[in-house]
């Protein structure tokens, strides 16, 4: 299981990315770091990160969730809350949401359908 110290270090790494709010840089870095954490502790699992503002417009159906966490990212006057899921398989229907790095990111083995947002599935039979 991931330790609180590991999680705090990842959060510090994300805050150290710079003085400006660069959503793509934050999301890519978060995905990479959490995918590495997942591989160390859980094996071949997927990582889904979502801007918490998008939760009401996203349908999540994840199986075998190993880890779930919320964190705030602050840069100057900006505050973004993110939700993180490390899971074995499932779907995320993100079709009613805005696309873009500030809103979501996924890492691991998955299939995506749709352009902005979309349906992400680790089981191709479910897309």
Q: What is the pLDDT of residue 71?
A: 81
Chunked into runs of 10 residues, the chain (127 residues) has average pLDDT values of 82 67 79 90 88 84 90 76 89 75 81 63 52
Domain count, the chain: 1
Question: How many Å apart are CA 21 and CA 102, to the nearest integer?
Answer: 9
Q: What is the pLDDT of residue 53?
A: 83
Q: What is the pLDDT of residue 100?
A: 72
- Three-state DSSP class for 58? coil
Could you tell me which residues come within 8 angstroms of residue 3 by beta carbon, excluding any fewer than 6 positions away?
none
Question: How many Å apart are CA 62 and CA 94, to the nearest integer?
Answer: 13
Q: Is the pTM of this model over 0.85?
A: no
| Beta strands 104-107 and 119-121, pairing class | unpaired
Beta bridge pairs of residue 70:
83
- Three-state DSSP class for 60? strand
Domain span at 42: 4-126
The residue behind tokens 């959490």 is: 34
């Amino acid at each position: 299981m991931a330790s609180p110290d590991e999680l705090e270090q990842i959060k510090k790494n994300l805050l150290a990315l710079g003085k400006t709010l660069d959503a793509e840089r934050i999301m890519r870095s978060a995905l990479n770091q959490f995918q590495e954490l997942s591989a160390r502790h859980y094996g071949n699992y997927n990582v889904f990160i979502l801007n918490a503002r998008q939760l009401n417009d996203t349908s999540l159906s994840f199986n075998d969730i190993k880890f779930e966490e919320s964190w705030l990212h602050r840069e100057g006057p900006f505050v973004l809350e993110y939700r993180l899921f490390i899971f074995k398989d499932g779907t995320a229907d993100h079709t009613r949401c805005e696309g873009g790095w500030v809103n979501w990111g996924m890492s691991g083995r998955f299939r995506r359908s749709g352009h902005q947002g979309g349906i992400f599935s680790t089981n191709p039979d479910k897309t």
